[in-house]
Amino acid sequence: MLHQCVFFLARSQTIRYRTLQCFMLNGVIFLGSILLFNFAVGPALNILRGLVQEDEVWATEFVATSFSVLYKVLWIYPIYCISFVLNTVMYQEIADSALALLKQPPFKGTPHWQRLIHETWRVLVNLVYLLQMYMLYYVPWLGPPLYFVHSCWMASIYSFEYRWVHLRWTSNARLDYFEQHWLYFAGFGFPVSLASLLCPRFIDAGVFALFFPMFILTATRAEPKMLQQAPETLQRLPLFKAVQGTSCLLVRLFEGSLGAGAPKTEGAARVSR
């Protein structure tokens, strides 16, 4: 992975610049702010509690709690929201520059309305997949391992979507390709998912955002392999069967609600006449 990243970093100024920005934003500002509070400000407040007299402890507790809340509300949370937006822009520029460097031409263009339908379906499938992933966590005994494996697949989806969108693959084509290479994608997303798993809340988001550009660059040159010598049942794993079924059900319910509302509107119009 590292040698592939060096290939892009050495040949593209845009990739170098955006990668450095990602490091500064996520590694220095966001993670640095959290670590500063956890290992400097927090211990200093604890020392202050121990120095005051017993009848003044309540005042120290109030000051420490207020400072902690204000620090998070006025600094950590805004940085988290701002970094989310800026990361999206920088990731897209990194992916575009890498694909342009590789000179990968997109397939024949599709009409804009079809692309809009495919992208809407993709967003719905991803949301349902995330919901399924979080629900699996609460399955007794097997919940945490299943959640971790699904998070590895989710990280791979995020990494490869830039390439698939550039190639103008439909949502179904992406899911079919993913199911045929399920083991490769589980291993591809394993490092960043493991790093996020070992970190506390908010720090895991910063770690993921910090290393994600490396996975985008690697995905642009990756060549996933199928399990050709494995049993037929393992050559393709229907990971998204339940997700697609649930998504289709939601679409039908939405269409049904629109269809049920149309006669009411027409009837109301007749009454008004």
pLDDT tens-digit readout, 237-267: 999 988 989 989 988 888 888 776 655 444 4
pLDDT tens-digit readout, 106-137: 655 556 666 677 778 778 888 999 999 999 99
Q: Looking up tokens 């591809």, which residue turns up? A: 188
268 has a pLDDT exceeding 70: no
Domain boundaries, the chain: 2-239
